[in-house]
Structure 1
Amino acid sequence: MFNEYANCAISKQTAKLDAKSWSKRPVPLTLDFFLQCHTLCIMQKTCTLTGVFLVTFLTACSDPATIIHESSEKSESSQTSFNCIASAPCKSGGAALWSSAKKLHPETPFELSLALNSSDIEVQSAWLEGTQMYMGTIPVFFTQQQTGLWSAEVMVGACSEPVMEWRLTVKLADLTSEAEYVRNVTFSLYTTQE
């Protein structure tokens, strides 16, 4: 292919020189060289355009549901559906969280327990939000069971995902200093349709 382009470039230069009578070749021959090069350039552009069109057409005609389904299957297979339990709690920012069971189901109440590493820290508020799809904000009401230990009963709605990830955000107030210090800690919870 490169040789054709090189020959084409040389032919164009020869055609220009021939047109100015630098060579003894007849003018129709120079026009023939120019036509061959011009035809080659048009063919190159046409082939490129056809290739781009073909790739675009094939991509656009593929079934988007299949693509989405395959990508969601891959993400689901890499995603866990197990939650932290008392023997292996999830930890974040000096707080430990565990649920009443490894597998949580939507529309079924479950209990969450939260252990804080200081008696001077208390839960101000908490809420759950879906991460894969918007399911609204679900308030979570933690009550203190004993010093540093809080619990809440929670229920979430069902969605179309077989495994749904929920983000629990807990707003903690640190009362150790004169000015109240507020910070958020987050945990992931998973509900499964099984």
Structure 2
Amino acid sequence: MAVESEHTIKDSAFLSISSAQVIPESEFEIIFAPSEQVEITEAHIVGASMYMGKIPLFFKKTQNGSHKAIGMVGVCSEKEMEWQIQIFYKDMTLQQQKTATLNFVATNV
């Protein structure tokens, strides 16, 4: 099973997977780089094509202002499995709640 790296930019926030290929049950890095000062209130990976529970993510702020976490997805019996990274955060400048998401597909090989 392999995952192609993807990224998204929404509400001035960049969210990406750092690896070109993610192997299930192996760690991979997730990078969240908002353009404003934020406080992450909740973050996890969920199955988008079927319920697989929530896989919690714990982000650490880096010196350059981005946030990094280590993620891992489980093996699925389906040929293709769509996953979604969900980050709920507070924009400290505007005092607004926001969400960043990134969908990616894992395919059995």
TM-score (norm 2): 0.85
Superposed CA deviations along residues 137-189 of structure 1, whole A, max 9, x for unmatched, are 11111110124300000111111123321111111111125xx3212121112
- Name the residue aligned to 1:92: 10
Superposed CA deviations along residues 19-75 of structure 1, whole A, max 9, x for unmatched, are xxxxxxxxxxxxxxxxxxxxxxxxxxxxxxxxxxxxxxxxxxxxxxxxxxxxxxxxx
Distance in 2 between the 1:129 and 1:149 partners? 22
Distance in 2 between the 1:146 and 1:122 partners? 15
Q: CA RMSD in A?
A: 1.7
Indicate yes or no: 2:78 matched with 1:156. Answer: no
- Name the residue aligned to 2:4: 82
Q: Give 1:169's match in structure 2, choosing from 77, 83, 86.
A: 86
Q: Give 1:134's match in structure 2, choosing from 30, 48, 51.
A: 51
**CA, structure 1 residues 147+123, in 2 after alignment: closer, same or farther (shift >3 Å)?**
farther
Distance in 2 between the 1:173 and 1:193 partners? 36
Distance in 2 between the 1:108 and 1:192 partners? 15
Which one has more relative contact order, counting CA pairs under 8 Å at least 6 apart? Answer: 2
- Name the residue aligned to 1:185: 100
**Identity over aligned pairs, percent:** 33
- Relative to its length, the structure with more strand (as a share) is 2
How many residues are paired up? 107
TM-score (norm 1): 0.50
Distance in 1 between the 2:41 and 2:65 partners? 13
* Correspondences of 1:115-126 after superposition (within 5 Å): 115-118=33-36, 120-126=37-43
One-letter amino acid of the counterpart of residue 157, structure 1: G
- Name the residue aligned to 2:32: 114
Superposed CA deviations along residues 102-129 of structure 1, whole A, max 9, x for unmatched, are 22121111111111111x2232221111
